[in-house]
Amino acid sequence: MSEKLNQLKEILGEVSDLNHAASVLSWDQNVNMPPMGGEARGQQMATLGKIAQEKFTNDQVGKLIDELKNQFPPASDEANLVRVTARNYDKAKRVPASFVAEQALATAKSFDAWVEAKGKSDFSIFQPHLEKMVELVQRYISFFPAGNHPYDTLLDDFEPGMKTSEVQEIFSALRPKQVDLLKKIKSAKQVKADFLHKKYNEKKVWDFSETIITQFGYDWKRGRQDKAPHPFETSFSVNDVRITNRFEADNPLATLFSAMHEAGHALYEQGVNPAYERTSLANGVSLAVHESQSRMWENLVGRSLPFWEYFFPQIKKLFPAQLAGVNVKSFYKAINKVEPTFIRVNADEATYNLHVMLRLELEIGMVDGTMKVKDLPEIWNAKMQEYLGITPPDNARGVLQDVHWSSGLIGYFSTYALGNLVSAQLWEKINKDIKGLDDQIRAGQFETLLGWLREKIHVHGRKYDPQDLVQKITGSKIDPTAYTRYLTRKYSDIYGL
Ligand SMILES: [Zn+2]
């Protein structure tokens, strides 16, 4: 058996090399590439993707999987490697290459149309392209056996094993609680945060972001932080996990929180068992679990009072004029200010999930045909009013704001909110397991926390399905109650509710 397993691993290794080479090209496109390089880069990445796909869907892979099934103890790495590979193989085989090519072409056009539509705040430019994207995902769904809901197929690509009905159940329990909390916050006295938007020196902010994530345990021998239009994390191996960041003059300290967020993703990737390299078990297990890590470092750690009791004296020393008259408590309140905004990526912790829920409802409606694409702007605005109490002044700040749908990414959004929920579930368990964690954070010590995450989550890579992993660690599947407790406790203190 070990010879056949080695044959499978050799093919998976080559597929992984090709995909990682394409990721390097994509990283370079975002970080270094001159503006005219786009077309050739697109071709290069498409070629690598095609070769990787052909290699992976070769009948030999299917044959090896069949021969290796049920040959290893069920809990072993080998059995899980075969199981995860079989699932990926089955998915890849169902989708015809001609469909993939058609989708790639339509997506490129749709993305351009979205850029124009957003620039002009004119939904009619994007509408036919979005209709095409919806038609394509409906066809994609038709390649798979019918589930309970057509949307299940899309969700499964981002959150293996998760069902639409489960997400709907979680969100319907969570939504009224968040809407209610938001109403209470809105009727309380608003906190002062003007000092966050003064002029801050870019280099000093950038260097301070690196001080923080170094203290978290981000390994610079296996990583780097570069400037890019949007913050993201990408990994080419467990020993090369990179992050990007940006500086916005009107929101200068966002750079710190983006660094913590992306470092949270990167710490996960740097912690996966090196034995899983170049196999189907490498990398984080799902988007929700990944987001639980980034959100934990950004919010549960990075927007907490103990964290700033340690770091506030340092930032105050760097920016004495900007932070004159500000103390650690008023700084803490300011970075946690709640204010409904039109734009999801700028949303605070109390409103963020509401943005995501709105998108999920629209996606499900588009996919099952209960909502027409042409009606989306109106539905969007009505739901914004219902959940957040505000109505976007135009479609650029409404239905056109996110890139996802233009790229055919439907099924992705809910994982952002699920990640928040998982982060709070993990945090309750961590605080049971690590006595005096707040005191450690107050002393700038993160080793015990990182060690816990490494042992319970990171090292396992994709070995366990996400819901099983959460269950194994916390004793329950993804559940909204811990997050509601966290938000209520935090904002009751900040807003005196
Ligand atoms: Zn993230």
272-291 pLDDT per residue, tens: 999 999 999 999 999 999 99
What pLDDT does residue 345 have? 87
Mean pLDDT of 129-158: 94
Catalytic residue, candidates 159, 233, 262, 298: 262
Mean pLDDT of 157-185: 94
- If you measure from the C-alpha of residue 351 to the centroid of ligand 1, how many angstroms do you get, rounded to a whole number? 17
- In one-letter notation, the amino acid at residue 159 is E
What pLDDT does residue 400 have? 96
Task: Specify whether the CB–CB gap between 286 and 466 falls below 8 A.
Answer: yes
- If you measure from the C-alpha of residue 242 to the centroid of ligand 1, how many angstroms do you get, rounded to a whole number? 13
Given a cut of 80, whether residue 395 has pLDDT beyond it is yes
Domain boundaries defined on the chain: 2-94, 122-497
Mean pLDDT of 296-307: 98
- If you measure from the C-alpha of residue 214 to the centroid of ligand 1, how many angstroms do you get, rounded to a whole number? 19
Nearest to 411 by CA among 134, 20, 222, 211: 134
Given a cut of 80, whether residue 171 has pLDDT beyond it is yes
What pLDDT does residue 145 have? 93
- If you measure from the C-alpha of residue 149 to the centroid of ligand 1, how many angstroms do you get, rounded to a whole number? 27
Tell me the fold of 122-497: Neurolysin; domain 3 (1.10.1370)
Least confident of 106-115, 231-240, 352-361, 382-391: 106-115
Given a cut of 90, whether residue 435 has pLDDT beyond it is yes
One-character DSSP codes across 84-150 = HHHHHHHHHHHS-HHHHHHHHHHHHHHHHHHHHHHHHT-HHHHHHHHHHHHHHHHHHHHTS---SST
- If you measure from the C-alpha of residue 68 to the centroid of ligand 1, how many angstroms do you get, rounded to a whole number? 35
What pLDDT does residue 97 have? 85
Given a cut of 90, whether residue 104 has pLDDT beyond it is no
Given a cut of 90, whether residue 264 has pLDDT beyond it is yes
Given a cut of 80, whether residue 1 has pLDDT beyond it is no
Does the CA dihedral 125-130-131-133 come out positive or negative?
Answer: positive
What pLDDT does residue 230 have? 87
What pLDDT does residue 105 have? 83
Is 262 among the catalytic positions? yes
- If you measure from the C-alpha of residue 261 to the centroid of ligand 1, how many angstroms do you get, rounded to a whole number? 6
Which DSSP letter does residue 477 get? Answer: S
- If you measure from the C-alpha of residue 247 to the centroid of ligand 1, how many angstroms do you get, rounded to a whole number? 17
- If you measure from the C-alpha of residue 27 to the centroid of ligand 1, how many angstroms do you get, rounded to a whole number? 16
What pLDDT does residue 100 have? 87
Please provide the average confidence, as pLDDT, over all residues in the chain. 95
Burial of residue 351 (CB within 10 Å: 0-12, 13-18, 19+) is buried
Least confident of 101-110, 130-139, 404-413, 448-457: 101-110
Given a cut of 90, whether residue 43 has pLDDT beyond it is no
- If you measure from the C-alpha of residue 263 to the centroid of ligand 1, how many angstroms do you get, rounded to a whole number? 10
- If you measure from the C-alpha of residue 265 to the centroid of ligand 1, how many angstroms do you get, rounded to a whole number? 7
- Phi-psi map region of 339: left, alpha, beta (phi>0 left; psi -120 to 50 alpha): beta
Least confident of 19-33, 94-108, 112-126, 482-496: 94-108
pLDDT band at 13 (very low <50, low <70, confident <90, very high): very high
Which DSSP letter does residue 346 get? Answer: G
What pLDDT does residue 364 have? 96
Helix (H, G, I), strand (E, B), or coil: what is residue 155?
Answer: helix
> Ligand 1 being an ion, which residues bring their Cβ within 5 A of it?
294
What is the token pair recorded at 130? 């979005």
Task: Specify whether the CB–CB gap between 153 and 140 falls below 8 A.
Answer: yes
pLDDT band at 374 (very low <50, low <70, confident <90, very high): very high
Would you say the pTM of this structure is higher than 0.75? yes
What pLDDT does residue 85 have? 98
